[in-house]
Amino acid sequence: MLIREMIKLGASRLMKAHCMDPSLDAELLYYYLTGADRVELFLKAREPVDEKMEKQYFDLISQREKRIPLQHITGTQEFMGLTFQVNPSVLIPRQDTEILVDGAAKMIRGDNDRIRQRNVWRVLDLCCGSGAIGISLARLCQNVKVSASDYSKEALEVAKKNANQNRVKIKFFCGDLYQPLGKRRYDMIVSNPPYIKSHMIPILQDEVKSHEPMMALDGGEDGLEFYRKIIEQAPAHLKKQGVLALEIGYDQAEEVCQLIKQTAAFTMVHVVKDLAGHDRVVYASALY
């Protein structure tokens, strides 16, 4: 069997298993196994495959056929140009979340003249999971001191490894939302909390509902359970004119903005869309 035939057969099997990107996944599993890239694949596509590699490759295909996420097979995910370790204890970082990080980084670097600048920004990554948001901000911005909090001890272990791997110093806290932080205040709170409505969980892709942590997905009956808690308690943990930055579901902007306005503790509430044109991030500035 030639390399290109092996990958084509792998893609066919993944298509029959209803994987979303069968051809791409079949290629990526080959790259993961061999360390090759697209150019090398092009040059070697007509070379024969030895039996050992063929068996290893189709073992990986078999895992993916079971709808195990590609990132759980390879153990990594790229995000903001950085590599993060992932496993079933953490939500796999998505491209949509890069909108949140990019906007927060611009504020920290002084690109938004409506936001009061600081010499040093103290940033809290709430519900940090893999640590992708906080670690990315620590790498992108020179003038930050990042803390990260999560309820899951297992998630924090992954986040700590990612911080070390990406060579950043972060303070980690374990507990329910703000509970382990005491009276600490921050210049910015960023969060991608659970926001899927409970009744929508069963219709998610198998890769998500069966292999990613439910506590990172389920936002309660209306998907707003965590937003209520985060927003209500945020004023007590933000410095004057501090920034609250929240990733949201595509249909949650109006409700989340209303929750923020009801506190009477924020101004300049605005929504940013993602590349698909969907509402994706809400920013607000603290009055007090």
Give residue 140's pLDDT. 95
Q: Give me Rg for the CA atoms of the chain.
A: 21
Domain boundary among 66, 88, 113: 66
Same structural domain, 57 and 153: no
Q: Is residue 259 in a domain?
A: yes
**Of the residues 66, 85, 110, the one at which a domain ends:** 66
Q: Which helix (H) or strand (E) holds 125?
A: strand 121-126
Instruction: Let me know whether 202 and 275 are in one domain.
Output: yes
Same domain for 92 and 12: no
On whether both 60 and 25 belong to a single domain, the answer is yes
In which region does residue 285 sit, left (phi positive, over 0), alpha (psi from -120 to 50) or beta (all else)?
Answer: beta
- Same structural domain, 262 and 121: yes
Asked whether residue 265 falls in the same domain as residue 230, the answer is yes
Picking from 43, 66, 89, the residue at the C-terminal end of a domain is 66
pTM comes to: 0.93
Is 71 a member of any domain?
Answer: no
Are residues 145 and 34 part of one domain?
no
CATH of the domain at 172: 3.40.50.150
Residue 248 domain-assigned (yes or no)? yes
Domain interval for residue 269: 76-286
Instruction: Spell 190-206 as b/e; 16+ CB within 10 A means b.
Output: bbbbbbbbbeeeeeeee
How confident is the model at residue 91, as a pLDDT?
97
| Together in a domain, 98 and 17 | no
CA atoms within 13 A on the CB side of 54: 13
For 19-44, what is each residue's pLDDT tens digit? 999 999 999 999 999 999 999 999 99
Give the pLDDT of the chain (288 residues) as one tens digit per residue.
999 999 999 999 999 999 999 999 999 999 999 999 999 999 999 999 999 999 999 999 999 999 999 999 999 999 999 999 999 999 999 999 999 999 999 999 987 666 778 889 999 999 999 999 999 999 999 999 999 999 999 999 999 999 999 999 999 999 999 999 999 999 999 999 999 999 999 999 999 999 999 999 999 999 999 999 999 999 999 999 999 999 999 999 999 999 999 999 998 899 999 999 999 999 999 987
How confident is the model at residue 113, as a pLDDT? Answer: 65
Q: Is the same domain home to 180 and 57?
A: no
DSSP three-state, residue 164? helix
Number of domains in the chain: 2
Q: Is residue 25 part of a domain?
A: yes
Question: Are both 41 and 115 inside the same structural domain?
Answer: no
Exposed/middle/buried for residue 184 (C-beta within 10 Å: 0-12, 13-18, 19+): middle
pLDDT at 166: 98
* Same-domain pairing of 238 and 280: yes
On average, the pLDDT of the chain sits at 95
pLDDT at 98: 97
Are 93 and 84 within 8 A, CB to CB? Answer: yes
CA 139 to chain centre: 16
Residues 61 and 112 in one domain: no
